[in-house]
Amino acid sequence: MHSPLTMYSPLTVIIPFLNEGDEVENTVKSIRETNREYIEIILINDCSSDGYDYERVATIYNTQYIVNPQRMGVAKSREIGVSLIKTPFFILLDAHMRFYKENWCDILVSYLEKEDRALYCLACKAIDKSGEPINNLIGCGAKLFLYGNDFSKILQPEWITEEIPYQEKDIEEIPCILGAAYAMSSRYWNYLKGLSMLKYYGADEAYLSLKVWLEGGRCILIKNTITGHIFRTGTQTPYTMYWPHLFFNKLIISETVLPEDYKRYVHAKLMALNPEAYMTAYAELIKVKDDIVNLRSYYQAIFTKNFDFFKQINQKYIDPENTDIPSIKINEEDGIRKVLKSVYDYLIKNNSSTIGFGVGGLGEIMYMAEYASIYAKDELPKVKKLLDELLENSKLEQFDFETGLSGLAWGLNYLNRHFHAFDIDEQFKESDKLLCNVLYDKIQKQDFAIPGGALGISFPFMERKNNKTLNDTIDILLRYINAYIFRYKDRIPRFTLFEITYFLILARDKNFCISDSLHLVSQVLSDSDKTDYLSECISAYLMIAINEKTENSSKDFHYNTLRKSAACREAVLAKVSEIGIYKGYPLLMYIFHAMYRKTQETVFRDALAYWKQETALKTASILLHTSVLSETEKSFLYGIAGAAFVILKTNQQ
């Protein structure tokens, strides 16, 4: 056994490894031989599968030895290592390194004791397995690749090198650490929450370096202490690395510490680079959105610098032509287009056999027809055949908008713009009386909800203004709505109130007489609870629509409310999680699209782009990670068909 020395260093060495074989011993031996003080070393075996006796190495060199029960990855293994130390400082090393300077740990500790609000990096030279230098270059930390056409490099460190002999001064600031010898205080690591949320392999250096600079600390190269590092290509590594793991880590960085414009840039570039890997990573990101929001809030509270400050640090090492965010519209739209095609391809092969519009085959066909008419006109006959088979083989047992006769009438009326195959008045004349009776029953029960209640049942009626019976029925419904609002204004469920308001606006546009209902509902809407983001946006949008129709001057107030909501996106992602049109992402997209068309204001354009991307990504993650989608997951009101439909329409208008 290697005998411990009497003097103990305040520094602990942490070495995670996987299938490294003899290199673990070579690295530990080099550490022991170049330091007079006893240094605590923690070896963390990340579930190696090579059968090597690493415990023997730990015993010989008197190190602490930890074995992960399953592969955790380098980031998590480093987190485990830091949690175990009893010293104020630590250094993270790879398991294939060599050391040359006597008592280099003492030098490192002297810097750590002077400045604890810093992340230190040792200089590095590349060596082969025999320990011989590969070239005459010394790695002096890194710059961070932020912009450019090589998408694989986004948020990747790139070496800053100097030739041997190089200027040996003690220390200098660097944008990013690199070289696998990184030291800091345990206090500062914990304050920055270390490598929190990273998985497996990749982006550790970028994440730590960005957090240090943005918090107000420094990344510092110790130039007078050089390590040897055996660098290997991807095919030479003793373990497998996966694109989705690296993508996930880069997305975590963008979501937790980077500003909105650059975050969207990272998403777009990764999606363009490898859509499948990106969607896999994004699906994992969705699962931890609450944690992301909390962590981002924490960093916003402790950071003292902004991203522009870091870019200035990084600036002197990079091409001045690659300093600003270029246009990413093409890449974003290409990625969204792929999602739209994926939805079409899935639905054309897995169309539901039930006839429902809100939930069922008709709503799915409505998206397919819209997609084919824009991107694949030769596919329209195939979609029409699906529709004919659906109508021939399905039986209607309901009358509501979600799954029944009312939704069928509305959907077929819409599909006429593509197929011109249906005489709605003729096709439904025998059903109109039955629908009217069902509508009266819903009114009596005060069931106004769009999916299953009176409002949804009456939607197709409003499209057929030449039918007196239907017009009379709508007039009766409008009178009941007015009485209902007046009587129950303080007790109307919030979303029911939104649905009623939307219906009244639609009725006004169709020239139905709505008496003073809009004025009444606007008063109730103004007083209603709008504690969540979605409700605030819907309420402001509806109030703008009401005020424009009633020429009310208070619309400016609601415009400002919606502008504020449009600019506030990051903190609410965990609050808006539904994929469907009814109460989710696409509804926000629709609102901001309408506001941008109305005002041409940048804030609404940017909000539209943001929520369009969020909707596309959520849709993609559902498609990629659910082998068989339920009718609800495929549906127009609650699933991918409706989400893709809204994306498609906002792209075209």
Domains of the chain: 8-243 (3.90.550.10)
Question: Would you state the pLDDT for residue 424?
Answer: 66
Report the C-alpha gap between 397 and 431 in whole angstroms: 12
Q: What is the pTM of this model?
A: 0.64
209-245 residue pLDDT tens: 999 999 999 999 999 899 999 987 555 555 566 889 9
Question: Would you state the pLDDT for residue 186?
Answer: 97
Rounded alpha-carbon distances, angstroms, from residue 487 to 188, 448, 482, 521, 542: 60, 15, 9, 12, 21
Question: Would you state the pLDDT for residue 158?
Answer: 93
- If we measure between CA atoms, which residue out of 485, 486, 458 comes closest to residue 472? 458
pLDDT above 90: residue 626: no
50-105 residue pLDDT tens: 999 999 999 999 999 999 999 999 999 999 999 999 999 999 999 999 999 999 99
Classify the phi-psi angles of 68: left when phi > 0, otherwise alpha if psi is within -120 to 50, otherwise beta: beta
User: Do strands 181-185 and 89-93 pair parallel, antiparallel, or not at all (unpaired)?
Assistant: antiparallel
If pLDDT is split at 50, 70 and 90, which confidence band does 611 have? confident
State mean pLDDT over 317-329.
Answer: 54
550-609 residue pLDDT tens: 666 566 777 888 888 887 765 444 444 577 888 777 888 888 999 999 899 999 888 888
If pLDDT is split at 50, 70 and 90, which confidence band does 156 have? very high
Instruction: Return the minimum-mean-pLDDT range out of 30-44, 335-349, 622-636, 637-651.
Output: 622-636
The residue type of 279 is: M
Rounded alpha-carbon distances, angstroms, from residue 415 to 294, 422, 486, 497: 45, 9, 37, 29
Contact in structure between 235 and 15 (CB atoms under 8 Å): no
Rounded alpha-carbon distances, angstroms, from residue 141 to 171, 173, 292: 11, 9, 28
Question: Would you state the pLDDT for residue 338?
Answer: 82
Question: Would you state the pLDDT for residue 88?
Answer: 97
pLDDT above 90: residue 531: no
Give the residue, 325 or 543, on which the prediction is more confident: 543
Report the C-alpha gap between 263 and 258 in whole angstroms: 6
579 by DSSP, 3-state: which?
A: coil
Contacts of 36 (CB under 8 A, 6+ apart): 5, 7, 102, 103
Sign of the alpha-carbon dihedral angle for 432, 437, 438, 440: positive
State mean pLDDT over 495-518.
Answer: 79
405-418 residue pLDDT tens: 888 888 888 888 77
Pick the most confident of 113-117, 264-268, 524-528.
113-117
Report the C-alpha gap between 235 and 26 in whole angstroms: 22
State mean pLDDT over 451-455.
Answer: 84
CA angle 26, 14, 292 (to 5 degrees): 135
Report the C-alpha gap between 496 and 535 in whole angstroms: 12
Question: Would you state the pLDDT for residue 295?
Answer: 95
State mean pLDDT over 379-392.
Answer: 90
State mean pLDDT over 438-451.
Answer: 84
Contacts of 249 (CB under 8 A, 6+ apart): 75, 198, 199, 200, 201, 202, 203, 204, 207
6 by DSSP, 3-state: which?
A: coil
Chain-wide mean pLDDT for the chain?
A: 84
pLDDT above 90: residue 367: yes
The burial of 426, by beta-carbon neighbours within 10 Å (0-12 exposed, 13-18 middle, 19 or more buried), is given as exposed
